[in-house]
């Protein structure tokens, strides 16, 4: 039986073989896109988290703050959760409640959770983990192009002659895409990598621009300025397909190559060469990830990429495009399904007219003003009193862990719905045990907009239930208490058909029957439509049909290093683990990478007398963790790199709650720390 990998947004098709509740091995069908038989270690060996001893097996509830969590029946736990939510709603209104659906759950489950929030809890405080990863890309792409996904399909990798990969350790975070790009490079394509770290991509690059962390905007603007100066831009494209050019071009004045060299640390000649290569290669694709987005200027950085692509006419063409590599398996789908505070399903902006339209379809009124972003919710507790948290572990994933802890302690009521016990479970008032994606049906949407089936391979353990069932049952009870309508949608297919009816131009042609054969990419308006590959070939999805340039201004990081904290800490991921580690660290992958290793440059290690493998402390203004030093020139001098998967040494104890003003994404990539020998 074929299903979709539960880890990253590549969305590899996997065929796990299971017998008597065990996974014997995982194969990958060669005929199916997007991976055509390829898998990374996570898809191949990391699925046994479903059998972990740490699975949540039965519902639990806490009757009052300070009391222990105790086992409860589903009936009791659901009744209690509905009662508490309804009671907070009556006292304080929908603004006091937030719902965070999960990008690990299916499209159908995300859709139902945001519908519950909007129709029953009367709140647009709905968000998901994209807030912490690509919300800044979404902000820039939406306002410029009118769409926030990858513009080009993954098959276009085989038609690309130049890859510009910015802030993406693709070989570790999206390994199958990394392997595809490297194969295409071996076939003759060129590769430019812009990254402070010597990643697997940098190793394969023709040009590697090792810039200082957080200086990407300056570098990208300098490339744009040079392309303009040398007349290498696509004048016809800019005139016919864009607007806002004049004001933006004016904004580039300060970004000279000389200044760029000073600010970024990259030699001017290298910046010039990269700019010329990008402007003069017709099929040139931009790919990026968290190195671009997780900054207080994340939106500006993503915007600088958008501007560069528009200037050179690289959007709406095969083998080119703007390609943000989405992280979590269904993070694209979570946004598509409306798990965002400012848009309904299908990225329809929350406004009075659209709220009336969705309200009419759902049989009730829904709030017509945008809600709070996830990071804003954690800043607004206890004003926000109740959170329904699905498949998220903010204690590991939010910045500045002590701050998050205080926020969670300040909540009046917290529901944690997850497959495994995590660092946030101890703060819960109600725990709902969920089935993993190996134990249920539905769909995920991968990074290039391909909707693919999720199929049941195993039975859920204990009393765990699919998120769809849990949210549906909670909705039924809330509706009864609040006197609101709640349509029973018993199967994932019934939910999906409701999505199709609401979003006919985007999902109308994607039926479950079609997905039996293989995934279908949106937009797909009809059942005989193949699904769109390259977006914006003719027009952009803006009111004028043109894409818009926006100035992207550089400013320094919120917390630059200083005498007391002389190193820049950058956080991220490693090949063997996934995000908060809830799944990968409860699988066989844990044996391959069991503890936090912090990358320290050999020159820094030499100065401080730190040996490779020695245990050291990392200290920021917000906390301290102990980790093993990995002395390596993968990371540049003055920078240390710490993956955030390790609850016993949480990198997010050190990071700061400084946010991008537009997308409210935290600055995970730059925090000032010092190293201490133990
Ligand atoms: Fe799974 Fe991503 Fe690895 Fe594919 S590349 S097997 S989707 S983790």
Q: Residue 517 falls within a domain, yes or no?
A: no
The tokens describing 458, both together, are: 């195993």
Mean pLDDT of the residues in the chain: 97
- For residue 245, give both structure tokens: 């050019």
Find out whether 244 and 548 touch, Cβ atoms under 8 Å. yes
Does ligand 1 lie within 6 Å of residue 636's CB atom? no
Distance 330 CA to ligand 1 centre (A): 12
**Mean pLDDT, residues 623-636 taken together:** 97
Same domain, 402 and 314: no
Distance of alpha carbon 137 from alpha carbon 130, whole angstroms: 10
Mutate to test the pocket of ligand 1, among 7, 28, 169 (most ligand atoms within 8 A of CB): 7
pLDDT at residue 589 is higher than 90 = yes
Mean pLDDT for 360-373 is 97
Ligand 1 atom with least separation from CA of 578? 8
User: How does residue 190 score in pLDDT terms, banded at 50, 70 and 90?
Assistant: very high
Among 427, 445, 479, the domain boundary falls at 479
Are the CB atoms for 243 and 544 separated by under 8 Å? yes
Per-residue pLDDT of 198-252, as tens digits, reads 999 999 999 999 999 999 999 999 999 999 999 999 999 999 999 999 999 999 9
Residue nearest to atom 6 of ligand 1 (CA): 43
User: Distance from the CA of 639 to the center of ligand 1, in angstroms?
Assistant: 28
- Tell me: do 274 and 300 sit in the same domain: yes
91-147 pLDDT, tens per residue? 999 999 999 999 999 999 999 999 999 999 999 999 999 899 899 999 999 999 999
Which residues have CB under 8 Å from 316's CB, separation 6+?
A: 151, 241, 534, 535, 536, 537, 538
Domain assignment present for 575: yes
Query: What CATH number does the domain containing 42 carry?
Result: 2.20.25.90
Mean pLDDT of 536-561: 97
Confidence category of residue 672, pLDDT binned at 50, 70, 90:
very high
Do strands 413-418 and 430-433 pair parallel, antiparallel, or not at all (unpaired)? parallel
Q: Ligand 1 in contact with 5 (CB < 6 A)?
A: yes
Confirm if 55 and 433 have CB atoms less than 8 A apart: yes
Q: What pLDDT score does 424 carry?
A: 97
Q: How far is CA 513 from CA 111, 453, 588, in A?
A: 20, 10, 35
Cβ–ligand 1 distance for 28 under 6 Å, the answer no
Half-sphere exposure of 323 (CA within 13 A, CB side): 35
Residue with token string 């590991």: 396
Q: For tokens 């909707």, what's the residue? A: 451
Q: Domain for residue 510, yes or no?
A: no
**Could you tell me which of 584, 590, 456, 586 has the C-alpha nearest to residue 18?**
456
The answer to the question of residue 230 being in a domain is: yes
Which protein residue's CA is at the shortest distance from atom 4 of ligand 1? 12
pLDDT in tens, 17-63: 999 889 999 999 999 999 999 999 999 999 999 999 999 999 999 99
Residues 317 and 337 in one domain: no
Domain containing 17 equals: 3-51
| Domain stops at, among 324, 348, 381 | 324
Residues 38 and 152 in one domain: no
Beta-strand relationship, 547-548 and 242-243: parallel
Q: What is the CATH number of the domain that holds 264?
A: 3.40.228.10
Q: Would you give the DSSP letter of residue 599?
A: E
With a cut of 90, say whether residue 533 has pLDDT above it. Answer: yes
Tens-place pLDDT, residues 378-403: 999 999 999 999 999 999 999 999 99
Nearest to 440 by CA among 114, 60, 105: 105
Does residue 558 sit within a domain?
no
Confidence (pLDDT) at 103: 94
Q: Verify that 295 and 219 share a domain, yes or no.
A: yes
The string of DSSP codes covering 274-327 is HHHHHHH-SSEEEEE-HHHHSSTTHHHHHHHHHHHHHHTT-SSSTT--EEE---
Q: How far apart are CA 440 and CA 492, in angstroms?
A: 9
Q: What is the mean pLDDT of residues 475-499?
A: 96
pLDDT for 313 beyond 90:
yes
Which protein residue has the closest C-alpha to ligand 1 atom 3? 40
Q: Hey, what are 488's tokens?
A: 């029973």
Q: How far is CA 357 from the centre of its chain?
A: 29
Q: Say which residue the tokens 């580690």 belong to.
A: 581
CA 340 to CA 576: how far, in whole Å? 29
Residues 6 or more apart in contact with residue 167 via CB below 8 angstroms = 194, 195, 216, 288, 289, 290, 291, 292, 293, 669
Record the tokens describing residue 531, joined without a space: 């699904």
Are residues 281 and 176 part of one domain?
Answer: yes
Verify that 153 and 254 share a domain, yes or no: yes
Residue with tokens 């300070």: 66
The total domain count for the chain is 4
Look at residue 521 and tell me if it is in a domain. no
d(CA 648, CA 651): 9
Mean pLDDT, range 146-164, rounded to an integer: 96
Domain match, 109 and 222 both: no
Of 37, 41, 15, 38, the C-alpha closest to 26 is 15
Q: Does residue 404 sit within a domain?
A: yes
For residue 176, give the ligand 1 atom closest to its CA.
Answer: 5
Q: How far is the CA of 577 from the centre of ligand 1 (A)?
A: 11
Residues 305, 176 share a domain: yes
Instruction: Say how far apart CA 369 and CA 348 lie, in whole Å.
Output: 13
Ligand 1: does its nearest atom lie under 6 Å from the Cβ of 40? yes
Task: Give, for ligand 1, the residue of 4, 9, 10 to mutate: max count of ligand atoms closer than 8 Å to Cβ.
Answer: 10
What strands, in cross-sheet order, belong to the sheet with 190-194?
207-209, 190-194, 162-166, 284-288, 322-324
SS3 362: helix
Q: What is the pLDDT of residue 490?
A: 86
Same domain, yes or no, for 357 and 463?
A: yes
Q: Report yes or no: 640 and 672 within 8 Å, Cβ to Cβ.
A: no
Tell how far the Cα of 43 is from the centroid of ligand 1, in angstroms: 5
Tell me the ipTM for this assembly: 1.00
Q: How far is the CA of 42 from the centre of ligand 1 (A)?
A: 6
CATH number assigned to the domain comprising residue 622? 2.40.40.20
Q: Give pTM, 2 decimals.
A: 0.96
Contact 550, 302 (CB under 8 A): no
**Domain's final residue, options 419, 447, 479:** 479
Q: Which atom of ligand 1 is nearest to the CA of 43?
A: 6
C-beta 444 within 6 A of ligand 1: no
- Asked if 225 and 120 sit in the same domain, the reply is no
Question: Rounded CA gap, 448 and 453, in Å?
Answer: 15
Q: Are residues 123 and 140 in the same domain?
A: no
pLDDT of residue 175 exceeding 90, the answer is yes
Is 598 part of a structural domain of the chain? Answer: yes
Which CATH number is 468's domain given? 3.40.50.740
Q: Whose structure tokens read 């694209």?
A: 332
Q: Phi first, then psi: what are they for 125, rounded to 5°?
A: -75, 70
């Amino acid at each position: 039986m074929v299903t979709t990998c539960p880890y990253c947004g590549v969305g590899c098709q996997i065929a796990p073989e299971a017998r008597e509740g065990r996974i014997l091995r995982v194969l990958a069908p060669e005929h199916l896109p997007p991976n055509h038989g390829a898998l990374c270690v996570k898809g191949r060996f990391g699925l046994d988290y479903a059998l972990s001893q740490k699975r949540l097996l039965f519902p639990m509830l806490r009757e009052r703050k300070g009391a222990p969590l105790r086992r409860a029946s589903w009936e009791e736990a659901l009744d209690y959760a509905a009662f508490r939510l309804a009671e907070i709603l009556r006292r304080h209104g929908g603004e006091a409640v937030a719902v965070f659906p999960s990008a690990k759950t299916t499209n159908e489950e995300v859709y139902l959770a945001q519908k519950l929030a909007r129709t029953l809890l009367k709140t647009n405080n709905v968000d998901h983990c994209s807030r912490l990863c690509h919300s800044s890309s979404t902000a820039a792409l939406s306002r410029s192009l009118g769409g926030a996904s990858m513009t080009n399909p993954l098959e276009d990798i085989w038609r690309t002659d130049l890859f510009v990969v910015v802030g993406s350790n693709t070989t570790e975070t999206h390994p199958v895409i990394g392997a595809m790009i490297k194969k295409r490079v071996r076939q003759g394509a060129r590769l430019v990598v812009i990254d402070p770290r010597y990643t697997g991509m940098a190793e394969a690059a023709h040009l590697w621009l090792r810039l200082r962390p957080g200086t990407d905007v300056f570098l990208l603007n300098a490339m744009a300025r040079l392309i303009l100066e040398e007349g290498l831009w696509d004048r016809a494209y800019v005139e016919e397909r864009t607007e806002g050019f004049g004001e933006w071009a004016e904004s580039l004045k300060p970004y000279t190559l000389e200044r760029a060299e000073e600010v970024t640390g990259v030699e001017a000649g290298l910046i010039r060469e990269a700019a010329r290569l990008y402007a003069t290669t017709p099929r040139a694709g931009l790919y990026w990830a968290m190195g671009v987005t997780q900054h207080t200027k994340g939106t500006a950085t993503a915007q600088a990429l958008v501007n560069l692509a528009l200037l050179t006419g690289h959007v709406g063409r095969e083998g080119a495009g703007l390609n943000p590599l989405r992280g979590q398996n269904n993070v694209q789908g979570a946004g598509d399904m409306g798990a965002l505070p400012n848009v309904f399903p299908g990225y329809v902006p929350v406004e009075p007219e659209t709220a009336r339209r969705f309200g009419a379809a759902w049989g009730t009124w829904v709030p017509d003003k945008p809600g709070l972003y996830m990071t804003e919710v954690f800043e607004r507790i206890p004003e926000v009193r109740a959170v329904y948290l699905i498949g998220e572990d903010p204690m590991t994933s939010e910045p500045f862990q002590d701050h998050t802890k205080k926020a969670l302690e300040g909540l009046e009521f917290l529901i944690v719905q997850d497959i495994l016990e995590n660092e946030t479970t101890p703060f819960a008032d109600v725990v709902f045990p969920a089935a993993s994606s190996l134990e249920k049906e539905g769909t995920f949407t991968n990074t290039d907009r391909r909707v693919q089936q999720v199929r049941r391979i195993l039975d859920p353990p204990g009393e765990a239930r699919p998120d769809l069932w849990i949210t549906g049952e909670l909705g039924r009870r809330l509706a009864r208490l609040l006197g609101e309508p709640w349509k029973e949608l018993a199967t994932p297919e019934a939910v999906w058909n409701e999505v199709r009816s609401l979003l006919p131009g985007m999902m109308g042609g994607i039926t479950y029957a079609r997905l039996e054969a293989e995934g279908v990419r949106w937009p797909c308006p009809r059942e005989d439509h193949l699904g769109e590959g390259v977006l914006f070939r003719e027009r952009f999805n803006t009111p004028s049909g043109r894409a818009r340039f926006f100035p992207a201004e550089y400013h320094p990081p919120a917390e630059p290093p200083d005498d007391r904290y002389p190193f820049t800490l950058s956080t991220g991921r490693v090949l063997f683990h996934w995000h908060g580690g809830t799944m990968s660290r409860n699988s066989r992958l844990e044996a391959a990478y069991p503890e936090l290793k912090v990358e320290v440059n050999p020159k820094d290690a030499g100065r401080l007398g730190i040996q490779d493998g020695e245990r050291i402390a990392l200290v920021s203004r917000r906390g301290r963790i102990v980790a093993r030093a990995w002395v390596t020139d993968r990371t540049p001098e003055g920078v240390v790199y710490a993956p955030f998967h390790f609850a016993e040494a949480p990198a997010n104890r050190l990071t700061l709650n400084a946010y991008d003003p537009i997308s409210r994404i935290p600055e995970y990539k730059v925090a000032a720390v010092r190293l201490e020998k133990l």
